[in-house]
Chains A and B, each alone.
Chain A
Amino acid sequence: MIRLENVTKSYSTEIVAVRDASFDVAKGEFVFLVGPSGSGKSTLLRMLNRQDRPERGAVWVAGRNIVDMPPSRVPHLRRNIGNIFQDYKLLLEKNVFENVAFAQEVIGRPTHVIKQQVPAVLELVGLAGKEDRLPHQLSGGEQQRVSVARAFVNRPLIMLADEPTGNLDPATGEGIMRLLDRINKTGTTVVMATHDQRIVNTMRKRVIQLDRGVIVRDQARGVYE
């Protein structure tokens, strides 16, 4: 599903965010990217949805090298990738339903499909009955659930999560992880960047560890070290 081949990305001559990174992620796999701040986790995620492009190497997603993908094709790539962020990135003036529906609306899904699929995904993330609430009327955990629902509503092949539990207390974070695990079990590949030692150690999924842009460990059913 995902393959990185000798990928190097730098932001200046001094700052190399990712250096010569290579790994494969199979369809339906759940992978943690771990490492301290500035180790290159977020840069790796940004390269997977073509927000950033490496200077060297190839990034294969769903069988296509996206490094040289023409800009006009990038939106179509992103329709197969769901994104979750630490700060949720919800639209504050839209309610729960509208936030989730927005992801379908902007890719031209018909209204009847939106009316059918949004309630279903809100039910899945445990937000049924809260469709009319605005983000500021929700707890942090609920806001992250909206973000997960928005990322999942288009049934992406891949889910990229950048510190999704970073702003949540441990119990709420666990709830989000259960949700991601459930989504993963539907066949969606999940790649998640995190600092959260407890979550990584509990989930026992594949762990790719980065240190100053270099992959220093790639371990199946790994723990945080």
Chain B
Amino acid sequence: MLSRLRYILRETLDSFRRNATLTLASIITAAISLLGVGLTLLSQHAFDNLLARWEGGVEMIVFMNPTATGDQLTLVNDALTTSDQFIESFEYCDEICSLEEADRIFAGEPGVRDLLTEDTILTQFKAVPTEGTDVDLLRQVSDQFAELPGVYDVSFAEDQISLISQLQSFFGFRLLLLSVFLLLAAILLIWNTIRTAIFARRREIEVMKLVGATDWFIRIPFMLEGLLHGIIGGVLASAGLWAWNSQWTSGVESFPDNSGFSALVVVDGYDQTVMLIMLVIGALAGAIGSGIAASRFLDI
């Protein structure tokens, strides 16, 4: 068992050395395509941060002054309850809930976030309209909420979501498409590298078959080689993503507070999840590319 393992590792590393140029090309291609996938996921998450307050079908938010009294909160609560022909449900996001939301929204602006405390944060009533409710009608109805005591402002999802969604789908789709093409290119390049490695070692493989090596014994070093291409590509892409995200985060901090970019950073550990996803996709791409090549071209 140990000698087989030693043999497999030695053959895999030998193949790396013999096909150095092609190996490097397939690793770089895998890394670039995986970085594309990673950036797509990261940007989608950043856009999701921007949309955080509108999650769950929320279309209208009534912001309450930090100084609003209990009676004033009850008044708004009752007004929303009695508007059940327009509003299906609503929930009150108190100081703690609003501060948690601010953690995401102002992730790129720690200075702004630090200014927000339980005494200064605006609490919110988040309302989900009844299905089929005309948002324009809701907007008219909401005028009465804006007049209620203790209300700071009333916001509508439509205004913000449409722009953010447009941006999200514009960037997301194109980046994803590019990543998928690059990933296919990486799989093909890994496939071709393994095919070349098999071709370069055809004499050896012929001898192996004649002395009674099983197909799996012959295949495994090649499959491992492809798997390593994908994993190394994933590691490089992870390093690239980490560098990119760090640069982006520090860059966004220097933007003006009202630029709207503050939420477009990922500091909640999601980047590590994306790195893990990239490693898994890299390993899968490597295994698929090399697996197909090793199964298809070993009959020599």
| Chain A contact residues, CB within 8 Å of chain B | 49, 51, 71-72, 75-79, 83, 89, 91, 102-103, 105-111, 114, 150, 154
Q: B207 near A: Cβ within 8 Å?
A: yes
Q: How far is the CB of B93 from chain A (nearest CB, A)?
A: 63
A108 adjacent to B4 (CB under 8 Å): yes
- Shortest Cβ distance from B296 into chain A, in angstroms? 15
User: For the complex, would chain B's binding face be called helix, strand, loop or mixed by DSSP majority?
Assistant: helix
Contacts of B2 in A (CB 8 A): 110-111
B3 close to A78 (CB less than 8 A)? no
The chain B residue with its CB closest to the CB of A94 is: B204
Q: Are A107 and B3 in contact (CB under 8 A)?
A: no
A154 to B207, CA, bound (A): 14
Query: 5 nearest interchain CB pairs?
Result: A79-B212, A106-B213, A78-B212, A103-B211, A75-B212
Q: Could you list 20 A-B pairs, sorted by A, with CB under 8 Å?
A: A51-B210, A72-B214, A75-B213, A75-B215, A76-B212, A78-B211, A83-B211, A89-B207, A102-B208, A105-B3, A106-B208, A106-B211, A106-B212, A106-B213, A106-B217, A107-B213, A108-B3, A108-B4, A108-B217, A150-B211
Q: Which of B177-220 contact A (CB under 8 A)?
A: 203-204, 206-215, 217-218
Distance between Cα atoms of A75 and B219 in the complex (Å): 14
* Chain A residues whose C-beta falls within 8 Å of the C-beta of B203 in the assembled complex: 89, 91
Chain A residues whose CB sits within 8 angstroms of the CB of B4 once the complex forms: 108
Q: Which residues of B contact A83 (CB under 8 A)?
A: 210-211
User: By the criterion of a CB under 8 Å from any partner CB, how many residues of chain B are at the interface?
Assistant: 20
* Closest-CB distance, B131 to chain A (whole angstroms): 60
Cβ of B286 to closest chain A Cβ, rounded Å: 24
Contact between B211 and A91, CB atoms less than 8 A apart: no
* Docked-complex contact B212 and A107, CB < 8 angstroms: yes
Chain A residue with the shortest CB-CB distance to B211 = A103
Chain B: which residue is nearest A104 at the CB level? B211
Q: A75–B208 Cα gap in the complex (Å)?
A: 9
Residues of A contacting B204 with CB < 8 Å? Answer: 91
A79 and B211 CA atoms in complex are apart in Å by 6
Closest chain B CB from A221 CB (angstroms) = 30
Chain B, range 1-34, C-beta contacts under 8 Å to A: 1-4, 6-7
CB distance from A193 to the nearest CB of B (A): 15
Residues of B within 8 A of A108 (CB): 1, 3-4, 217
Residues of B within 8 A of A79 (CB): 211-212
Q: Find out whether the CB atom of A110 lies under 8 angstroms from the CB atom of B211.
A: no
CA distance A83 to B218 in the complex (A): 19
Not counting A102-B207, A107-B211, a sample of 8 additional A-B residue pairs whose C-beta atoms are within 8 angstroms of each other reads A72-B214, A106-B7, A106-B217, A107-B212, A111-B6, A114-B3, A150-B211, A154-B211
CA distance A89 to B209 in the complex (A): 12
Nearest chain-A residue to B207 (Cβ)?
A89
Q: Which residues of B contact A103 (CB under 8 A)?
A: 207, 211
In contact, B3 and A49 (Cβ under 8 angstroms):
no
Residue of B nearest to A112 (CB): B3
**Pair A89/B206 contact, Cβ less than 8 Å:** yes
Name the distance in Å between A66's Cβ and chain B's nearest Cβ.
Answer: 13
Please, how many angstroms separate the alpha-carbon atoms of A111 and B4 in the complex?
9
- In the complex, how many angstroms separate the beta carbon of B5 from the nearest chain A beta carbon? 10
Residues of B within 8 A of A154 (CB): 211-212
Task: Give min CB distance, A185 to chain B, whole Å.
Answer: 23
Give bound CA distance, A124 to B132, whole Å: 92
Query: Which of B2, B210, B211, B214 has most chain A Cβ within 10 Å?
Result: B211
Q: Among A76, A78, A111, which residue has its beta carbon within 8 angstroms of that of B210?
A: A78
Determine the residue in chain A with the shortest Cβ distance to B14: A93
Chain A residue with the shortest CB-CB distance to B1? A108
State whether A110 touches B213 (Cβ < 8 A): no
Smallest CB gap from A114: residue in B: B3
- Shortest distance in angstroms between B218's beta carbon and chain A's nearest beta carbon? 8
CA distance A108 to B212 in the complex (A): 10
Closest chain-A Cβ to B208's Cβ sits at a distance in Å of 5
Within the complex, the shortest CB–CB distance from B222 to chain A, in Å, comes to 14
Closest CB in chain B relative to A61 CB, distance in Å: 13
Docked Cα-Cα span, A76 to B214, in Å, equals 8
A109 with B3, Cβ < 8 A, contacts A75-B212, A76-B212, A78-B212 known = yes
Complex CA gap A15/B116 in Å reads: 89
Please, what's the 1-or-0 string for B153-197, where 1 marks a CB less than 8 Å from any CB in chain A? Answer: 000000000000000000000000000000000000000000000
Q: Cβ of B214: which chain A residues have Cβ within 8 Å of it?
A: 72, 75
Query: Which residues on B sit within 8 Å (CB–CB) of A75?
Result: 209, 212-215
